[in-house]
């Protein structure tokens, strides 16, 4: 009998946060460090911007095609933002999970709620919070000299988004990027070992017991 | 507003496995590495053995006292093994969890079932499996030249214990001790960040939103 290596179903890892909490940096570092983790590529009706690569940054499509996908239930979640549509195609996610690869979603609480309706057992959701209002404001102000009222609007939006922490499995307070990346790595490492994600475990234990 | 440090309720971490899967070594290394993790100290009616320290290895007691504790619901789980009673006192565990310290339990599936009845929300259960029957037999044979029938009895017992993997949250296949220790460390690291264990999170988010 060969030493058994767990085959497992992949994890749908959702990172959400109010803008300015540091989620995007955490996502980027996670993807750099973990070869089994891949970013979900959304489909969108918005025009391609300079520097964007079709199939890597987005799948670009027109409204007719988008509505067709939506009506055929081929999207796990979708949203309309500033007149453009964005969605997560179901097929590549399903394929990745089945092959034991994990998929990272950088989406908001509304997208997370839709994913949870379609795939609760696969979903692991993490909400990232800033360590303080002062730190949040510092990050939302950014380098540009934005007018105070623009920063105030961003703060109000962040305050609204924050109330949705209650819908998430895990909470990470982003005091330090490295510490937060390690926290999410632990979460992913643990969730990969959840019993319900293991494939062939029943046969393995049967073989162990029978000494095959 | 000071940077927020999550205060949390501790985790009841249960490690179970068939004998010979390597659980005891994993437990020992976890305790060495993690200052927030402490072994649960059982109460027992069996006599103290040379080298054992009361209060560290066990709380030693007599049968009358043990039955009193049991009848007063002061034990989270208990069992009778070879004529002696063993149990887990509730009070020190409750105290540790309330103070954000984690408690490690090295117990079998029956003890785990009892703990789950009393404290499902606090419980995180990990089942350790050997990588192969050959490896299990090697470990159960040990250094002593035990007769084949004794080893066969141990194997039969291990085979029986193994069927209970289905009752656990996480599965770790112990191919390599270091890898397994890191797996359980990830599980503990993740579970510490579960939303439902965080204390004062609601007030923190309220303060964040109000900019206090």
Going residue by residue through chain A, which has 212 residues, state the pLDDT in tens, using 9 for 90 and above: 555 666 899 999 999 999 888 899 999 999 999 999 999 999 999 999 999 999 999 999 999 999 999 999 999 999 998 899 999 999 999 999 999 999 999 999 999 999 999 888 999 999 999 999 888 888 888 756 778 888 888 888 889 999 999 999 999 999 999 999 999 999 999 999 999 999 999 999 999 888 86
pTM (2 d.p.): 0.92
DSSP chain B: -PPP--EE---EEEEE--TTSSHHHHHHHHHHH-TTEEEPPEEESSPPPTT--BTTTEEE--HHHHHHHHHTT-EEEEEEETTEEEEEEHHHHHHHHHTT-EEEEE--HHHHHHHHHHHTTTEEEEEEE-S-HHHHHHHHH-SS---HHHHHHHHHHHHHHHGGGGG-SEEEE-SSHHHHHHHHHHHHHHHTTBGGGEESHHHHHHHHHHT-
Residue B20 in this model has a pLDDT that exceeds 90:
no
Using alpha carbons only, how large is chain B's radius of gyration in Å? 19
Q: Of how many residues is chain B composed?
A: 212
Q: What is the pLDDT of residue B143?
A: 59
Helices (DSSP H) in chain A: which residue ranges?
23-33, 63-71, 90-98, 109-119, 133-141, 148-162, 177-191, 201-210
Backbone angles phi and psi of A177, in degrees to 5 = -60, -45
Which tokens is A108 given? Answer: 């908001």
Which residues does B149 contact at the CB level (< 8 Å), separation at least 6? none
Q: How far is B52 from chain A (nearest CA, A)?
A: 35
Residue pair B17/B129 in contact (Cβ under 8 Å)? The answer is yes
Residues of A in contact with B187 (CB under 8 A): 189-190, 193
**Using 50, 70 and 90 to split pLDDT, how confident is the model at B137?**
confident
C-alpha A123/C-alpha A88 separation (Å) is: 14
Residue B14 in this model has a pLDDT that exceeds 60:
yes
| Mean pLDDT of chain B, nearest integer | 92
Q: How far is B94 from chain A (nearest CA, A)?
A: 23
C-alpha A89/C-alpha A11 separation (Å) is: 16
Contact B166 A135 (CB under 8 A): no
Q: How far is B196 from chain A (nearest CA, A)?
A: 8
Residue B141 in this model has a pLDDT that exceeds 90:
no
Which residues does A16 contact at the CB level (< 8 Å), separation at least 6? A23, A107, A108, A109, A111, A112, A125, A126, A127, A128, A164, A168
Contact B190 A193 (CB under 8 A): no
Domains of chain B with CATH codes: 7-40+100-210 (3.40.50.300)
Q: Nearest Cα to A74, choosing from A110, A40, A112, A43?
A: A43
Taking phi over 0 as left and psi of -120 to 50 as alpha, with beta for the rest, B102 belongs to beta
Chosen for mutation from A171, A175, A184, A188 (greatest number of chain B CBs closer than 10 Å) is A171
Residue pair A16/A23 in contact (Cβ under 8 Å)? The answer is yes
Residue pair A90/A78 in contact (Cβ under 8 Å)? The answer is no
Chosen for mutation from B132, B134, B210 (greatest number of chain A CBs closer than 10 Å) is B132
Residue, of B177 and A152, whose pLDDT is higher: B177
CA dihedral A102, B170, B193, B107 (to 10 degrees): -170
Contact A187 B190 (CB under 8 A): yes
Element (DSSP H or E) covering residue A105: strand A102-106
Distances in Å between the Cα of A16 and the Cα atoms of A13, A40, A156, A168, B180 are 10, 14, 17, 9, 30
């Amino acid at each position: 009998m060969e030493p058994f290596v767990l085959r497992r179903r992949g994890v749908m890892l959702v990172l959400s946060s109010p803008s300015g909490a540091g989620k995007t940096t955490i996502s980027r570092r996670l993807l750099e460090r973990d070869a089994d983790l891949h970013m979900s590529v959304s489909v969108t009706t918005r025009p391609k911007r300079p520097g964007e690569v079709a199939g890597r940054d987005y799948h670009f499509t027109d409204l007719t095609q988008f509505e067709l996908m939506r009506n055929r239930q081929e999207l796990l979640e979708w949203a309309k933002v500033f007149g453009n549509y964005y969605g997560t195609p179901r097929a590549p996610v399903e394929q990745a999970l089945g092959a034991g690869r994990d998929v990272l979603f950088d989406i908001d609480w509304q997208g997370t709620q839709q994913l949870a309706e379609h795939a609760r057992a696969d979903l692991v959701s993490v909400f990232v919070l800033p360590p303080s209002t002062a730190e949040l404001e510092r990050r939302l102000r950014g380098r540009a000299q934005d007018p105070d009222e623009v920063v105030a609007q961003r703060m109000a939006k962040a305050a609204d988004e924050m109330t949705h922490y209650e819908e998430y499995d895990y909470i990470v307070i982003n005091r330090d990027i490295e510490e937060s990346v390690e926290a999410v790595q632990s979460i992913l490492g643990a969730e990969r070992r959840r019993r319900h994600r293991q494939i062939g475990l029943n046969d393995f234990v049967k073989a162990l017991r029978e000494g095959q």
